[in-house]
Amino acid sequence: MQVQTLPTPPKFDGSALAVCRGLDRRAAGHVMAISSLRRKAAGETLFSEGDDADCIYEVVSGTLRLYKMLADGRRQMMGFPAAGHLLGLAPAGTHVYTAEALTDVTLCCYPRASFHRLVNDVPGLARRMWAVTSDELRFAQDQLLLLGRKSASEKLASFLLMLADQQDTDHLSLPMTRTDIADYLGLTIETVSRTVTKLKREKLIALPQVNAMDILDRDALEAMAAGESAEHF
């Protein structure tokens, strides 16, 4: 029987990883020494809500979806982390949401116990993690505003702009389904589809492919996301 040889995982410059950003070469080397690469195919679960959080993960490539299941079976989508995002910063030691691969993903895995020791020993790492957790808090606050006070059009405009910033382009890849988007925005899939159609009709966006979207008028979309548009739907 022929044994399949797996490709050798790529070596990364530690300074390119979010955890190591701003650290000197020696400090980044200590972090990289405890790390390993992990890959998940689209549809695979990285971890489930309630699992022990034995690792901190950084997304190297690909996109995941994070969600919590409510007692009545409904799903609240928590986010769609891509390259540079950290997962598993669970203070209680257990994951509070489920993480699934939307696309094939590569992650850098940092064992939690080893990582915690490095936070105390590596200069600058504690400050870097403070910045990361501050970003997570800001993201959570933005999500509360998105769910609580914005109209459907404002929610969708905010979501598209978030993806544009995350992907650093106005030519968006949309690996998530419209059901995923609806669950993230707290809307029905019908409302999402109706709002997408209206944005397309008003030439704010274009839909060149099933899983792609182009932002055609960023200024108008930003005004809509900020609640400055005259029309709310």
- CATH code of residue 162: 1.10.10.10
Q: Within this chain, do residues 137 and 165 fall inside the same structural domain, yes or no? A: no
Least confident of 81-95, 168-182, 205-219: 81-95
**Structural domain of 23:** 14-146
pLDDT-above-70 percentage for the chain: 91
Residue 7 lies in a domain: no
Closest CA to 83 of 105, 56, 109: 105
For 75-113, the pLDDT digits (tens) are 889 899 999 899 988 877 899 999 999 999 999 999 999
Q: Within this chain, do residues 107 and 161 fall inside the same structural domain, yes or no? A: no
Q: Within this chain, do residues 156 and 188 fall inside the same structural domain, yes or no? A: yes
Q: Within this chain, do residues 158 and 134 fall inside the same structural domain, yes or no? A: no
Least confident of 5-14, 38-47, 128-137, 168-177: 5-14
173: left (phi over 0), alpha (psi -120 to 50) or beta: beta
Residue whose pair of structure tokens reads 């203070």 in the numeric block:
91
Least confident of 64-78, 136-150, 157-171: 136-150
pLDDT bin (cut points 50, 70, 90) of residue 172 is very high
Residue 125 lies in a domain: yes
Both structure tokens of 60: 């190297």
Q: Within this chain, do residues 128 and 219 fall inside the same structural domain, yes or no? A: no
Q: Within this chain, do residues 79 and 99 fall inside the same structural domain, yes or no? A: yes
Final residue before a domain boundary, out of 131, 146, 161: 146
pLDDT bin (cut points 50, 70, 90) of residue 2 is very low
Least confident of 9-23, 139-153, 192-206, 212-226: 9-23
Q: Within this chain, do residues 172 and 120 fall inside the same structural domain, yes or no? A: no
pLDDT bin (cut points 50, 70, 90) of residue 195 is very high
Residue 9 lies in a domain: no
Count of structural domains within the chain: 2
pLDDT bin (cut points 50, 70, 90) of residue 123 is confident
- What would the mean pLDDT of 143-148 be, rounded to a whole number? 72
For 29-77, the pLDDT digits (tens) are 999 999 999 999 999 999 999 999 999 999 999 999 999 988 888 888 9
- What does each C-alpha distance from 183 to 41, 178, 200 come to in angstroms? 22, 8, 21
Residue 95 lies in a domain: yes
Residue 3 lies in a domain: no
Mean pLDDT, the chain, as a whole number? 87
Q: Within this chain, do residues 42 and 97 fall inside the same structural domain, yes or no? A: yes
Both structure tokens of 73: 């079976």
pLDDT at 7: 41
pLDDT at 225: 92
pLDDT-above-90 percentage for the chain: 58
Q: Within this chain, do residues 100 and 161 fall inside the same structural domain, yes or no? A: no
3 state DSSP class of 147: helix
- What does each C-alpha distance from 139 to 165, 168, 233 come to in angstroms? 13, 17, 24
Q: Within this chain, do residues 123 and 183 fall inside the same structural domain, yes or no? A: no
Domain of 105: which CATH number? 2.60.120.10
Q: Within this chain, do residues 52 and 83 fall inside the same structural domain, yes or no? A: yes
Final residue before a domain boundary, out of 146, 164, 184: 146
Residue 129 lies in a domain: yes
Q: Within this chain, do residues 156 and 141 fall inside the same structural domain, yes or no? A: no
